[in-house]
Amino acid sequence: MSIAYDTIAFRSAKCDGCGECMKACAAVKQGTSRISIVPGARDGAFEMALCRQCGDPKCVMVCPAGALSKNAGNGIVDWAADRCVDCLLCTSGCAYGAISADPIGGRVIKCDQCGGDPACVGACPTDALEWGSAGSIYNRFGDKEDMFVPGLAGCQGCNSELIMRHVMRRIGRNSVLATPPGCIPGMGSVGYNGKTGTKVPVFHPLLTNTASMLAGVRRYYDKIGRKDIVVMALAGDGGTVDCGFHAVSGAAERGEKILYICVDNEGYMNTGMQRSGATPYGSWTSTTPVGDKLKGKTQDAKNMPMIMVAHRAAYVATASTAYMEELYDKLDRAIEASFHGFSYLHIYSPCPTGWRVPANKVIEACRLSVESNFVTLWEYTPEAGLRFTRSPDRPVPVVDYARTIGKYRHLDADQLAHIQAKVDEQVALLKRLAGEVSAVSAARAAAPEDSSTSAGAVPPPLRHETFRP
Amino acid sequence: MPEAKYLLVGSSHAALEALRAIRRLDPDGSMAMVTRDGALPYSPTVLPYVMSGRSRPDAVILRDRAFFDEVGCRFVSGVAATGLDTAARSVRLADGTQWRYGRLLVATGAAPAIPPIPGLDTVAFHVLRTLDDAVGLRARMGLARRAVVLGAGLVGLHAAETLAEAGLSVSVIEMRGQVLPGYIDAKASARIEAAFAGHGVKLLLGRTATRVAAQDVGIAVTTDDGRTVEGDLLLVATGVRPVTDWLAGSGVQVERGVLVDGFLRTSAADVWAAGDVAQGLDFASGTRQVLGIIPTAVEQGRIAGFDMAGDAGQKPWVGGLPVNTYRFFGRPAVSVGQAAAGGDGFEVVEQDLPHLYRRIVLAGDRLVGIASVDDPFDAGIMGELIRRRVDLAAVKDAFLADPTAIGRRLMSEQWR
Ligand SMILES: Cc1cc2nc3c(=O)[nH]c(=O)nc-3n(C[C@H](O)[C@H](O)[C@H](O)COP(=O)(O)OP(=O)(O)OC[C@H]3O[C@@H](n4cnc5c(N)ncnc54)[C@H](O)[C@@H]3O)c2cc1C
Ligand code: SF4
Ligand code: SF4
């Protein structure tokens, strides 16, 4: 397996030019900052110069002294002070302004990512700088076994296939998987002609009984003393928020120890793109068409993860494939929680076919959905309450997101205003849940001896935290 | 008869970059690098620092044996190529070996050009192009008190500084009226000249050496104004000449250097040339020139390598840009593009302050050249602005005031 590297990403839209990153860098490097933020073309816009630790670094190739080299272990382009002859040739190789003569002292300076914990990222108050540790994820999981056969029949660019493969690669063979009707079994994971497409025991429940069947499977494993099996579902939004809702709700209420993953592509996509209860307002679907009168769906989507919070499930989280580090972190916690109670992970999954998004723009759609707060990323446990894992502050307008999605192309200003208002309302509600719900004392929250309710206490106050990677 | 799919002649910047490019596309094709030098690859640019003692000769090596084993390239050193037979696809080496090749890269660089000064052939003198030259100069330097340097280009000035810092009394004779002619304008060079004078180096500018003679101790150089300059050590640094002698009779077209097209192909089939030996497209003039700098050698080596490995997506080269980063007595002087240009069609904006000098040359609101003394800038970004012909009309004043900030901004915008 080749090796991948972590990196610092810059989101110019979030940068307000405060310069904290430069101060932090100058402080740890005891000199001139290696990162430079400069005013952009528009008022209030900012641009950045920072070493990208190029895979094909030109600074290295023009150095006559062998003072620069690409470190194969961590990807950093290293500078060897003792070999450098201060000729400045490297500054002519770099098109990013990322290696330059230090005004103090005159030697060249460049970013070394502070050994994997960059000071600038930690100092950025707006999350404009992010530490992208996708490289580490790849190194950790890249050579783990893919639990699905090659050649599943998902559409080109299918985000759900990405989710299935990542999730099961992490969970591995010690699992029993339910895939109720939807794209996931539809693309071949349950198999064809008597052969399964999945390398773990997989079954195909009805839309209506997934969570109930899993509850039985778990109880059986408990009975025979197998505590190590992840009993789980990869279900679509239709099977979760509509047809299977009562089963999910019941299992959560009973505290069944299962991992329920909802892959939400906002509709019944494999049967011809019908609307579901998770389809957002205004969406074109085959059952909410766009014509003279109708202009897409006329109702708002229900927020299933919030409904699961109301069940006080052992773990509830939302995730997006644009933020893989988070997705993996939450997956770890969700697996762990599924051995103690009902664990619910809701992963948003733009559908290139049904949403009319080009295959190569799917991840961008994921990212914009989060950056606009159309989708919020958070997690909940009864003990710690609800916590944003990605700050919902400073969102981009929802219209920036909607514009990239074909199923919203027809939306008029009023409809967009409605969606924006709904997004704002959701965020306000989540913020209240995250920050303003008063703590219940542990004594009062603890369940009596003989009750079958999970003994979840609620000691610490619920709080609003900003995620710092 | 040994053979290789890829035969690279030369082991410096151009050849090393070609090797890298080839291996990106063809990890297994047989490859060999043949070089006249006995040492492992190093850069001529680092030699002034070897001469001064700042860099140890064994610490300037750019690739070790293990590297060549790892990438699967035979490294044959200490033997020069002496002939090329394009019909037989073979290269003859000084030891009589014939190497057959599938594709050949000529990357033999340049060697000092020795001017036809009467008497020069009768005395011992130094040049600075190889590691041996640098080590030899370093040894000699310790025994000498007075040095004469012919030529005030980059090599001559580097060496003169090293000699002066080592305590020798140094005279530099330069035919043109300024130091670094062709690289920077007269105002910038005046600052450099003042620094040299301040360190006790005698600069004889606008003077031609007419005769060199041996003396009881050392040498004497006579200049065209009848003066005589004496020294214990003579360094000739009057320019370089592409090493093309071994191509004589091969049919490969040579003018000043080996003529190459946009893909660094020579006139002969399956023969490429790159680096100081090549005469390729010059960005500004559109004519073919020998540029003689590392950035060009690297760029050409890369394109040649990709083309040799059959890269289908290759785009022709846009041409080389002069780029020089130079330090004198610790102070930086940087120039990119037509930094010394002026007159019709050019807009020149100079900042001539006590603590820094900066000269920006625009043509039609596009950057064509920039130079500075004591004010280093992002040379790579400026090069890109020039090559991409970025229209600066909207940001011109801001750019002139702070080329670094605006340059970074423009490139950041371009990359996103
Ligand atoms: C003192 C000094 C200072 C310099 N400073 C700068 C600077 O600051 N910035 C800058 O950009 N450039 C500078 N240069 C120029 C720069 O070093 C060259 O542009 C660069 O080295 C060119 O690389 P190249 O691969 O084309 O050839 P070269 O570096 O010239 O190497 C030629 C190679 O070919 C080999 N060779 C030669 N003849 C034969 C033969 N017949 N058979 C086999 N092998 C042969 C040699 O052994 C060598 O390996 C400087 C040069 C010198 C000498
Ligand atoms: S300094 Fe510039 S060229 Fe070198 S690795 Fe960093 S971004 Fe790339
Ligand atoms: S300044 Fe140092 S690191 Fe940069 S090219 Fe010169 S020797 Fe190499």
A152-201 pLDDT tens trace:
999 999 999 999 999 999 999 999 999 999 999 999 999 888 889 999 99
CB contact under 8 A, A106 and B332: yes
**Choice among A55-59, A452-456, B278-282, B356-360 with the minimum mean pLDDT:** A452-456
Chain A (31-90) residues lying within 8 Å, Cβ to Cβ, of chain B: 36, 38-41, 47-49, 58-59, 61-62, 64-66, 83, 85-89
Our answer on whether the CB atom of A101 is closer than 6 Å to any ligand 3 atom is no
Compute the distance between CA of residue A173 and CA of residue B127 in angstroms, rounded to an integer.
70
- All CATH 3.50.50.60 domain ranges of chain B, comma separated, are 3-110+240-308, 120-236
Residues B37, B44: Cα–Cα separation, whole Å: 11
**Does the pLDDT of residue A460 top 50, yes or no?**
no
Please report which confidence band the pLDDT of residue A451 belongs to, taking 50, 70 and 90 as the band edges.
low
C-beta atoms of A39 and B17 within 8 A: no
**Gap between the Cα atoms of B286 and B281, Å rounded:** 6
Rg over alpha carbons for chain B, rounded to the nearest Å, is 22
Give the residue from B286, B324, B318, B308 showing the smallest Cα distance to B107.
B308
Would you call A87 and B45 a contact, using CB atoms and an 8 Å cutoff?
Answer: yes
The residues pairing with B199 across neighbouring beta strands, listed in sequence order, are none
C-beta separation of A207 from A180 below 8 A: yes
Contacts of A44 in chain B (CB under 8 A): none
pLDDT at residue A217 in the model: 97
**Bridge partners (DSSP) listed for residue A315:** A343
> What Å distances lie between residue A159 and A139, A304, A327, A358, CA to CA?
21, 20, 13, 12
Q: Taking 80 as the threshold, does the pLDDT of residue A452 lie above it?
A: no
* Per-residue pLDDT tens digits of chain B, which is 416 residues long: 899 999 999 999 999 999 999 999 999 999 999 999 999 999 999 999 999 999 999 999 999 999 999 999 999 999 999 999 999 999 999 999 999 999 999 999 999 999 999 999 999 999 999 999 999 999 999 999 999 999 999 999 999 999 999 999 999 999 999 999 888 999 999 999 999 999 999 999 999 999 999 999 899 999 999 999 999 999 999 999 999 999 999 999 999 999 999 999 999 999 999 999 999 999 999 999 999 999 999 999 999 999 999 998 888 999 999 999 999 999 999 999 999 999 999 999 999 999 999 999 999 999 999 999 999 999 999 999 999 999 999 999 999 999 999 999 999 988 76
Surface of A (161-220) touching B: CB under 8 A: none
Residues in chain A: 469
The first and second tokens of residue B159, run together, are 């060496």
A105 and chain B in contact, CB less than 8 A: no
**Closest by CA position to A270, among listed A332, A137, A198, A181:** A181
The residue type at A105: G
Query: Residue A108 CA: which ligand 3 atom is closest?
Result: 1
**Residues 6 or more apart from A335 whose CB is under 8 A from it?**
A170, A171, A230, A259, A343
In this prediction, residue A123 carries a pLDDT of 97
CATH of B330-415, one of 3.40.50, 3.30.70, 1.10.3470, 3.30.390: 3.30.390
pLDDT of residue A463: 44
| Both tokens assigned to A102 | 């230090």
Distance CA A420, CA B244 (A): 71
Q: Which of A66, A85, A92 sits opposite B295 (nearest CB)?
A: A92
Pick the CATH number of B120-236 from 3.40.50.720, 3.50.50.60, 3.20.20.70, 3.30.300.160: 3.50.50.60
d(CA A252, CA A211): 9
Tell me the shortest Cα–Cα distance from B85 to chain A, in angstroms.
Answer: 31
Q: Is the CB of B131 under 6 A from ligand 1?
A: no
pLDDT at A127: 87
Q: How confident is the model at residue A457 (pLDDT cuts 50, 70, 90)?
A: very low
- Kindly list the residues from chain B whose CB atom is less than 8 angstroms away from the CB atom of residue A12: 412, 416
CA distance A370 to A210: 29
Q: Is the CB of A65 under 6 A from ligand 3?
A: yes
Q: Which tokens go with B179?
A: 């130091």
What are the φ/ψ torsions at residue A13 (nearest 5 degrees)?
Answer: -60, -25
What pLDDT, in 10s, does the model give residues A316-329? 999 999 999 999 99
Distance between CA atoms of B258 and B289, rounded to whole angstroms? 10
Cα–Cα distance for residue pair B209/B227, rounded to 1 Å: 9
For chain B, give every residue range classified as CATH 3.30.390: 330-415
3-class DSSP state of A229: coil
Neighboring chain B residues of A66 at a CB cutoff of 8 Å: 59-62
- Taking the Cβ of residue B161 and every Cβ of chain A, the question of whether any pair is shorter than 8 Å is answered with no
CB contacts, 8 Å: A64 with chain B: 13, 43-46, 60, 294
CATH number corresponding to A7-137 = 3.30.70.20
Per-domain residue ranges of chain A? 7-137, 146-446
**Alpha carbons B294 and A88: distance in angstroms, whole number:** 12
Q: 293-322 in B: which are within 8 Å (CB) of A?
A: 294-295, 298, 302
**Fold assignment, B3-110+240-308:** FAD/NAD(P)-binding domain (3.50.50)
Superfamily of A146-446 according to CATH:
Thiamin diphosphate (ThDP)-binding fold, Pyr/PP domains (3.40.50.970)
C-beta of A77 in contact with ligand 2 (< 6 A)? yes
Instruction: Name the percent of chain A lying above pLDDT 70.
Output: 93
